[in-house]
Amino acid sequence: MTDRLGQKQTAAMLALMVIAREISNPELKKIIGFALDGKERRQLNDLHLVASEKRGRPFYHELTERGWAWCEDELNMEEAPPPRSSLGSALYVLLGGLGGHLRRNNLRLAHLFAAEVGPGAEEVEPAAEEVEPAAEEIEKRIRDAYHKLSSSPRDWVGLVDVRPLLGVASTTAVDAVLKELSRSGQAHLVPASNRKTLTAADHAAAVRIGGEDNHLLSIEAS
């Protein structure tokens, strides 16, 4: 558990949460009125909440996995942290309502703020008559998607690439099948080795097991 962040750091964290991608200091300054630099940046880097990289003159910033977890914790705050203001209190009322919505619908922040995964990508609403497939059908689709994406058994493929191939199936249902495959030893789920390269889409596609987000899938030969 980290100490409370300063107001500028909190503002930067929440802005990076909503932007959900890597952003340069000049662009960040246009959005929130200041750049993330100096002591504020170094502390967030040291806490592993934000990954920053200097390219040319500007720094580029993106939330780490720990940063996403910090933001989710912030949505569970019962009241605004000091120093309090009327606007700050209203913000934390809003954040608390957002956190409640995510919990009721078994969603993660990255589901809400995930960036588009390709040019012109759009959310497609399932037709009203389509119903969620049974667990057996979801497992078949997972295996079919895995074989399509992998070059050989036991290869590692990203869940971010698997999920779009599963058709109409809720995140909750897919996660339940993935966890059962992992429990039975038919599949293996692991976190990405380089968390700095993860995108918001990667975070949204991860399945959480034992308090850890897993981004990669490997299936035994069948």
Give per-residue pLDDT as tens, 120-178. Answer: 444 444 444 457 789 999 999 999 999 999 888 789 999 999 998 888 788 889 999 99
Per-residue pLDDT, averaged over 203-214, amounts to 86
**Amino acid code (one letter) for 46:** D
Q: Which ranges of the chain does DSSP label H, i.e. alpha helix? A: 7-19, 25-32, 38-46, 65-74, 86-104, 109-113, 135-149, 159-162, 171-183, 200-205
Cβ(18)–Cβ(113) under 8 Å?
yes
SS3 (DSSP) at 17: helix
Q: Mean pLDDT score of the chain, rounded to an integer?
A: 83
This prediction has a pTM of 0.53
